[in-house]
Structure 1
Amino acid sequence: MTTTATDNKVTSPWTVDAQTATTNRNLRETTTKANDTVGVDGFLKLMTAQMQFQDPFEPMDNSQMVAQMAQFSQLAASNDSNNLLATIAQSVSGSRLSDAASWIGKSMLVKSNIAAPDRYGQYAGELTLDKDADALSVDLVDASGGVVKTIDLGARKAGAVSFYWDGLNEAKESIASGALQVKVRGATPSKVATWASIAAVQSPAGGADTQLITALGNYSPSDALRLG
């Protein structure tokens, strides 16, 4: 083989035929993974290129074809098995139904500006302050916009601040029984969270995450900031 030099560039008289070019392109596409790993798509591309550009006078032997198809089937089955194992692993994670069922009757702290009473008629929640507050208070407001209860929290340091109301007036009479909106005065909290009682557990069809049913709505176990 000879080469010629023109303007410091080296050229070759040899050219790459279409079959070699296609094979090289397929190899480049399948080497994006580790050298010892070829996925299902890469294996199929290689086998298709081999069949497309085989010598018509010396076609692939039938036994070779059967062997390669068997390898492809084994690779596809292995891939399906890995996906199935991943699904099984997810189904037995901390959000599985048997674990979440033990949460029934407990309360969970979730991000929400709506407070619902527990089985004793009590309202509770937590504010997160980024800075100190001199006169912090929480209004619990009903659906009509009326303030049912004002909880005076006074001066508070930055951080988590809890609030609580037993649902009773000064005469010890229950004056609230439904969900109330939490409105904060004297500060702008970075997070408002309330306690919600877990009434039941639901396992949706199709392998979706287990849902915890509360008066505030349905939540995933991962939504719980804290259990109480």
Structure 2
Amino acid sequence: MTGINGAGQSTLSYLDQLKGMQEKKLQEDQKVTGQNELKQEDFLSLLTKQLAQQDPFKPVGNDQMIAQMASFATVDGITQMNEQFGSLNSAMTSNQALQASSLVGRDVLIPSATGVKKGEGGMTGMVKLPNAINNLMVRVENEQGQLIKTFDMGAKPAGDHRVEWDGKDDSGNALPEGRYKLKVSGMLDGENREFDVSTYANVNSVLLGKGDGNVMLNLAGFDSPFKLAEVLEVGQA
């Protein structure tokens, strides 16, 4: 509650007066500098003025001063910590980009069943099997979804297995370079199931993400980049 004491001073509580002075100071700073935050020196200046204008018969208690200073110190500490995290994130991203630059010109395994066939060569992928399969079948499709070739990989145990296509159709004709899709299926628990397939792609260049801390890889034959974190393996296809 607000009143006037015998000395003609306002009897607003310390915290209320300090809040009012902070708001006034903030408005003045915004008009002059456009800033919308108080710094440590602003807080100390306000605190000094408040202590000088306090009611001598009702001085500010130590607990009020400590609580106010602790609150400001906490906010200031969080602000500094956020700035440090931002600098650390920027440094880590730059370091990742530097390391990723060594991948340019190399093949990486990515989680995509669609891969790129080069020239007269074929295409290589990797299939992950949750269980042993007695008869593993591979279907190769072009970008239009047309079936190009089928071949049998035979029985395979659980785990990762290379899928190698020679780049030819069922008649033995070499197909042109381009994007093709590998589909691998087999009988599991009495049902025909398709399994996850990854393919190899060549790294053209490395770039930083749009402020999100991700390092991206431009891959040959792909319109959109892939995240470095998505790479499953580095090596020759």
Note whether the superposition's TM-score is higher than 0.5: yes
What percentage of aligned pairs have identical amino acids?
Answer: 24
Q: What are the residue-to-residue correspondences of 1:87-106 with 2, within 5 Å?
A: 87-93=86-92, 96-106=96-106
* 2:234 equivalent to 1:222: no
Match of residue 18 from structure 2: none
Number of aligned residue pairs: give it. 174
Distance 1:176 1:134, change over 3 A: farther
Could you tell me the TM-score, scaled by structure 1's length? 0.61
Cα separation, 1, equivalents of 2:120 and 2:79: 50
Alignment gaps of 5+ in structure 1: 1-18, 20-50
Letter in 1 for 2:200: W
RMSD of equivalent CA atoms: 3.6
* 2:130 equivalent to 1:130: yes
Cα separation, 2, equivalents of 1:199 and 1:118: 14
* 2:139 equivalent to 1:139: yes
Range with greater deviation from structure 2 (181-190 or 131-140) = 181-190
> For 1:198, which of 189, 197, 203 is the aligned residue?
203
Range with greater deviation from structure 2 (95-104 or 71-80) = 71-80
1:77-99 residue CA offsets vs partner (Å, 9 max, x unmatched): 33222122222333333772211
Cα separation, 2, equivalents of 1:120 and 1:76: 64
Letter in 1 for 2:186: G
Distance 1:150 1:76, change over 3 A: same
Distance 1:122 1:69, change over 3 A: farther
* 2:108 equivalent to 1:108: yes
Match of residue 157 from structure 1: 157
Contact 2:115 2:181 in 1 (8 A): yes
Distance 1:59 1:139, change over 3 A: same
Alignment gaps of 5+ in structure 2: 1-12, 14-49, 188-192
Could you tell me the TM-score, scaled by structure 2's length? 0.59
Contact 1:118 1:196 in 2 (8 A): no
Q: What are the residue-to-residue correspondences of 1:7-26 with 2, within 5 Å?
A: none
